[in-house]
Amino acid sequence: MAAEGNSMLRPRDAADVAEIVRAHPRALEPMGGGSKRSIGRPVDADPLDLAALSGITEYEPAELVLTARAATPIPAIREALAANGQRLAFEPPDFAALLHGDGVPTLGGVLSANVSGSRRVSAGAARDHFLGCRAVAGSGEEFRAGGKVVKNVTGYDLPKLLAGSWGTLAVLTEVTVRVAPAPETETTLVIEADDAANAVEMLTAALASSHDVSAAAYDPARGCLLRLEGFGPSVAARAAGVLEALRPPGVERLDAVASSALWSDLGSAAALAERPFVWRIGVPPSDAPRVLDAIAPRQFLLDWGGGLIWAALDELDVGRVRGALPTGHATLWKAPVAERSAAAVFQPQPAGVAAIAARVRAALDPAGKLNPGRMA
């Protein structure tokens, strides 16, 4: 049996996790590296420290599939993949700078939060690369879901459901993800834009072209940012194609190193690190300019071609943010603990959907043992 004590529960393996979930008298807060602990409503629960469930268990580059224990740190995954010319295409962001945190993101944590970087717009989200898992339901049973091959429609797609469930349905103990070849090279075109509306027009034109723009963002401090990745001659040809289509007045071109650094900061909204309140907002790209006008944030970034708004405010102002959205969702990504305890951190759902979500939660975690209230 794992070391027990009110403050520290440190299972050594999946069986320990199941035992603790079944036997522990209090609610539990599953935790990988703890890098996203400050997102969501604070929970009154004992931390379930999964750090010992670490290490890659299966990886065959030619199969494009990797299996690892859930708390394997992202840097370790990156390193193993890079040694084989591969990567996680959804670009798991590290929010350490934004959240002033010190935890290292883990693969299980990234999947549980379904967080993806700027390449989400072309390569899909974390959930799209999540093929299968072993997990312990809130009810204490160990179970498997999905598979270890890239194409699988056998039974419900439970990995999708677990992705983005923030540890409120089950504790992931081992996960299988799809991996992708890393590109030979990349470049980023930095293009001046007048304002958000003008920027969204350009991002849309770029993404609607056949030039395979892999990321498209707008940072008012720099301009429109368009990323092209792939084989050298292809990147050169596509960059030329984008410029010909947009005919921008001024353009700067970043080399591979600068480009890669830029997107790692952008995808984790590092530029907003000094702001106390940061919202992460999903909208139809064409709504972004209007939504920004209505919110009037102190500072913002647009990613995913305009479909993701990072909005920084000086005070909480839930009504102003959610009231600005005709459709979509707004999550309070960063806020002091007092405000996070009081506000609806996640987008409230329509009654019918909320009812189904509550029944799904009850199906896996009937006693509300895992992260109770976190997704309120």
Partner 1 sequence: MICLPAADPGIVARREEIVAALRELIGPGNVVAEPLRLAAYETDALTAYRQRPLAVALPETTAAVAAIVRYAHRAGVNVVPRGAGTSLSGGAIPAPDAIVVAMGKFNRILDIDYANRCVVAQCGVTNLAISHAVAERGFYYAPDPSSQIACTIGGNVAENSGGVHCLKYGLTTHNVLGVEMVLPDGEIVRLGGRYLDSGHYDLLGLTVGSEGLIGIVTEVTVRILKRPETARALLIGFGSVEDAGACVAHVIGDGIIPAGMEMMDRPAIEAAEAFVHAGYPLDVEALLIVELDGPAAEVDMLIDRVRAIAESHDSASCRASTSEQERLAFWAGRKAAFPAVGRISPDYYCMDGTIPRRELPRVLAAINDMSRRYALRVANVFHAGDGNLHPLILYDANSPGELDKAEEFGNEILKLCVDVGGVLTGEHGVGLEKRDLMTYQFGERDLDVQHRIKLAFDPALRFNPGKVYPTLSRCAELGREHVHRGAERFPDLPRF
319 sits near partner 1 (criterion: CB under 8 A): no
Tell me if 209 contacts partner 1 by CB under 8 A. yes
Query: For partner 1, which residue of 54, 214, 268, 331 counts as binding (CB under 8 A)?
Result: 331
d(CA 162, CA 322): 25
**Binding to partner 1 by residue 197, rule CB under 8 A?**
no
| Selected binder of partner 1 within 13, 212, 265, 317 (CB under 8 A) | 212
347 lines the binding site for partner 1 (CB under 8 A): yes
| Identity of the residue, 47 or 282, whose beta carbon is nearer to partner 1 in the bound complex | 282
CB of 14 vs partner 1, minimal distance in Å: 12
Q: Is 83 a binder of partner 1 (CB under 8 A)?
A: no
**Which 157-196 residues touch partner 1, going by CB under 8 A?**
157-158, 160-161, 163-165, 169, 180-184
The rounded distance, in Å, linking the Cα atoms of 187 and 190 is: 10
**Judged by CB under 8 A, which of 55, 85, 323, 368 binds partner 1?**
85
In the complex, the smallest distance separating the C-beta of residue 200 from partner 1, rounded to whole angstroms, is 9
Report the residue number, 221 or 351, with the smaller CB distance to partner 1.
Answer: 351
Contact window for partner 1 (CB under 8 A) among 42-50, 55-63, 250-258, 267-275: 55-63
Question: Per rule CB under 8 A, is residue 43 in the interface with partner 1?
Answer: no
Three-class HEC string of the chain: CCECCCCCEECCCHHHHHHHHHHCCCCEEEECCCCCCCCCCCCCCEEEECCCCCCEEEEEHHHCEEEEECCCEHHHHHHHHHCCCEECCCCCCCCHHHHCCCCCCEHHHHHHHCCCCCCHHHHCCHHHHEEEEEEEECCCCEEEEECCCCCCCCCCCHHHHHCCCCCCCEEEEEEEEECEECCCEEEEEEECCCCHHHHHHHHHHHHCCCCCEEEEEEECCCEEEEEEEECHHHHHHHHHHHHHHHCCCCEEEECHHHHHHHHHHHHCCHHHCCCCEEEEEECCHHHHHHHHHHHCCCEEEEEHHHCEEEEEECCCCHHHHHHCCCCCEEEEEECCHHHHHHCCCCCCCCHHHHHHHHHHHHHHCCCCCECCCCCC
- Using CB under 8 A, count the residues that bind partner 1: 88
- Whose Cβ is closer to partner 1: residue 16's or residue 46's? 16
Question: What's the CA gap between 52 and 84, in Å, rounded?
Answer: 25
How far apart CA 333 and CA 239 sit, in angstroms, is 34
Between 273 and 357, whose beta carbon lies closer to partner 1?
357
Minimum gap (Å) between residue 314 Cβ and partner 1: 23
Q: How many CB atoms lie within 10 A of CB 135?
A: 28
Q: Between residue 214 and residue 253, which ones bind partner 1 under the rule CB under 8 A? A: 230-231, 233-234, 236-238, 241
In 3D space, the residue among 180, 148, 165 whose CA is nearest the CA of residue 109 turns out to be: 165
Provide the minimum distance between the beta carbon of 82 and partner 1 in the complex, in angstroms, as a whole number: 12
- Of the pair 198, 347, the CB lying nearest partner 1 is at 347
Residues forming a β-bridge with 186: 229
Report in angstroms how near the CB of residue 351 gets to partner 1 at its nearest: 9
Place of tokens 């072309």: 122
State which of residues 13, 142, 265, 317 lies at the interface with partner 1 (CB under 8 A). Answer: 142
**Taking the complex as a whole, how short is the minimal distance between the CB of residue 165 and partner 1, in angstroms?**
6
| Residues from 103 through 132 that contact partner 1 (CB under 8 A) | 114, 116, 120-121, 124-125, 127-128
Nearer to partner 1, 46 or 287 (CB): 287
- Residues 273-312 interacting with partner 1 (rule: CB under 8 A): 282-286, 304, 307-308
- Is 151 a residue that touches partner 1 (CB under 8 A)? yes
Q: Which stretch binds partner 1 (CB under 8 A): 42-50, 100-108, 244-252, 323-331?
A: 323-331
